[in-house]
Chain A
Amino acid sequence: DAGITQSPRHKVTETGTPVTLRCHQTENHRYMYWYRQDPGHGLRLIHYSYGVKDTDKGEVSDGYSVSRSKTEDFLLTLESATSSQTSVYFCAITAGSTQYFGPGTRLTVL
């Protein structure tokens, strides 16, 4: 599946703590994305990147930041996690105008 891995796959944390999720791809894709999936909402775009150090906000970017210092890695940071950020987070890449998704990270904020 387009060589995408995400880490960690599961994480439980407490309100107010910082959290960083990692997306790693092995096929040198230019575009990378972070989505969150919540029941009744489908997937919503958090941030995306169109190259190293080039990122932009998506639909639900508040409370999240991203960084891309290397082509292969796209990091999502929750500066101070809140319970509303409990979700499943998916990373995606674009190849041939089609997006392919990573396995997801299930994050629980207590």
Chain B
Amino acid sequence: AQSVSQHNHHVILSEAASLELGCNYSYGGTVNLFWYVQYPGQHLQLLLKYFSGDPLVKGIKGFEAEFIKSKFSFNLRKPSVQWSDTAEYFCAVGETGGGADGLTFGKGTHLIIQP
């Protein structure tokens, strides 16, 4: 069975600080990897995804993530955060092939950006 671990449940940063949120997964096969963001009171939105190829993927709003296969990690980064980045961030894993199986989510990281 797949599992996803997000290292930090709560992160507080000041504006302009750099961000890195950790995500590790456990799965024996090849996977698709995702980061979703949930702004207060809203539904989940896709930030970025990795299926194959270049392990450094760029997403919306200046976010990027790096897939390190040897470490089973997919950490999310942003060089300079803004107050509007305050949200909950979820890492998720799915099996390759785009089949019916759902995603396995981490428990989320609540990010607060202080002005």
Query: How many chain A residues touch B (Cβ–Cβ < 8 Å)?
Result: 27
Distance to closest chain B CB from A11 (angstroms): 17
CA distance A20 to B44 in the complex (A): 22
CB < 8 Å: which of B43, B51, B100, B107 contacts A101? B43
B99 → A minimal CB distance (Å)? 8
Q: Verify B44–A101 contact, CB threshold 8 A.
A: yes
Query: Shortest beta-carbon distance, A10 to chain B, in Å?
Result: 12
Option from A45, A96, A98, A103 in Cβ contact (under 8 Å) with B102: A45
Do B44 and A56 touch (CB < 8 A)? Answer: no
A12 CA to B106 CA in the complex, in Å?
28
Which A residue's beta carbon lies closest to that of B98?
A: A97
**Size class of the contact patch on chain B:** 20 to 34
Residue of A nearest to B107 (CB): A42
- Taking CB atoms, residues of chain B closer than 8 Å to A56 are 100
Of all chain A residues, the one with the shortest Cβ separation from B106 is A42
Question: Once bound together, how far apart are the Cα atoms of A46 and B103, in whole Å?
Answer: 11
Q: Find chain B residues with CB under 8 A from A44 CB.
A: 105
Binding site for B on A (CB under 8 A): 1, 31, 33, 35, 40-45, 48-50, 56, 58, 90, 92, 94, 96-104
The 5 closest A-B pairs by CB, nearest first: A97-B98, A50-B100, A45-B102, A42-B105, A42-B107
Q: Can you report 26 residue pairs joining A to B where beta carbons are below 8 Å apart?
A: A35-B102, A35-B105, A41-B107, A42-B4, A43-B90, A43-B92, A43-B103, A43-B105, A44-B105, A45-B103, A45-B104, A48-B101, A56-B100, A58-B102, A90-B44, A92-B102, A94-B100, A96-B98, A97-B51, A97-B96, A98-B49, A99-B34, A99-B102, A99-B103, A100-B46, A101-B43
